[in-house]
A = this chain, B = another copy of it.
Amino acid sequence: MNEINRPLASLDYIPADIKLAQDYEALARRFISLPNYEYIAGGSGRDQTLFANVAAFSRRMVYPRILRDVSAGNTHLTLLNKNFPHPIFLAPVAYQKLAHPLGELETARAADVMQSCMVSSTLSTYSLENIASSSSGEKWFQLYFQPKPEFTLDLIKRAELAGYSAIVVTVDASIRTPGLGALRAQFQMPNDCIAVNVAQYEHAQELLVGQSRIFQGVMRDAPTWVHLEQLLMQTHLPVIVKGILHPADALTIKNMGCAGVIVSNHGGRSLDGAPASLDCLAQIRTTVGDDYPVLFDGGIRSGLDIFKAIALGADAVLIGRLQLYALSIAGALGVAHILKLLREELELCMAQAGCSTLKDIRKADILNATHY
């Protein structure tokens, strides 16, 4: 790499060093201030799950298959009765101003151009309405249950009104362990990074003497199965539940009538010590059956990784950190470019593995090579 150091702002052009999607990861260090980079790149605690996510991919190998005609190949996907040209979605990443001054607005433009599905975070730094108006494409709204039910309902109604076509409710982030890297780098959320969607919802918590900061503190208002049932009654939109690793939870969600699950450990940012998402995927797919929508995130760095996730049971995947790295380097152009790279890398792998469609990938053999 021969790029010189650059000011901490977006270039809005693609550096020549970018050959693979994963190259955005290495380059982003030079485009994001250290504390912000540590906050984005790190996981929670000691990053055990963060590393596990990536390692889980490296243990699995894809069989090349030969001489199959893939000239009519495509990466099309139908999910929740919508058609998508490719299965690479944009995960709900909070506080995108950390990576680019125009944050989620740029991401929305990229999603629009690349026909990706953007999942807009409750904790966006532009309003959900503003983001929605930046993209004519498919977009879903990621919901955090608010401590006060009326605020949750308010978010749902605003999302419906703004044109979001599904609710992705995140259930694994009631507590976040701070990442050590960010703590060491003395990360603080910048003043201009405000979760504008929820800034007006006041909330205060008090603890009685002897009560636990955890159980009677942050968990007092944490969502439960009851909240999820209410949500299903409060919206006509399909509800997808994000943050599932245990197959029993996936089954419960399916049986409740939710529209799908996202197998995820919050990119290693929630429970440090949780299994790799990929290590949980196949069993969840087996448990919910072949046709139930199962999405996946956690550790994807290449089109090859996407192939592996689909082969192990995913219908589509979401990218989180890669999205922010590309955003930091080249704004909307970067996000669009990394989606294009990932799609081509996926197509390349499909062609070499003799798969013309995503359905073919689901039937592909994966070698779990536990030693290298």
Contacts and interface: CB of A to CB of B under 8 A. Distances in A.
Interface stretch (A45-53, A105-113, A325-333): A45-53
Nearest to A210: B85
Nearest to A241: B66
Interface in A279-302: 279-280, 302
A370 B369 contact: no
A265 B265 CA distance: 34
A34 interface: no
Contacts of A171: 66-67
Copies of this chain present in the complex amount to 4
A15 B100 CA distance: 35
A160 interface: no
B351 A214 contact: yes
Given A353-B271, A369-B279, A71 B228 contact: no
Nearest to A307: B273
Nearest to A352: B271
A369 B213 contact: no
A75 B214 CA distance: 11
A215 B64 contact: no
Given A66-B172, A351-B219, A246 B365 contact: yes
Interface residues of A, number: 86
A369 B275 contact: yes
Contacts of A178: 19
Contact of A69 (B1, B224, B244, B275): B224
A266 to B, nearest CB: 9
A148 to B, nearest CB: 15
A11 interface: no
Nearest to A372: B55
A63 to B, nearest CB: 5
Given A175-B348, A249-B66, A215 B71 contact: yes
A146 interface: no
A196 interface: no
Contacts of A249: 65-67
Instruction: Report which residue of A183, A218, A356, A367 has the largest number of chain B beta carbons within 10 angstroms of its beta carbon.
Output: A367
Interface in A32-91: 45-46, 48-49, 51-52, 55, 58-59, 61-75
Contacts of A369: 52, 275-276, 279
Interface in A135-176: 171-172, 174-175
29 contacts: A22-B46, A61-B275, A61-B279, A62-B275, A64-B245, A66-B172, A67-B225, A67-B249, A70-B215, A71-B215, A71-B219, A71-B222, A73-B214, A73-B215, A74-B212, A174-B352, A175-B348, A177-B348, A212-B344, A214-B344, A214-B347, A214-B350, A214-B351, A270-B352, A271-B349, A273-B308, A273-B349, A275-B369, A279-B367
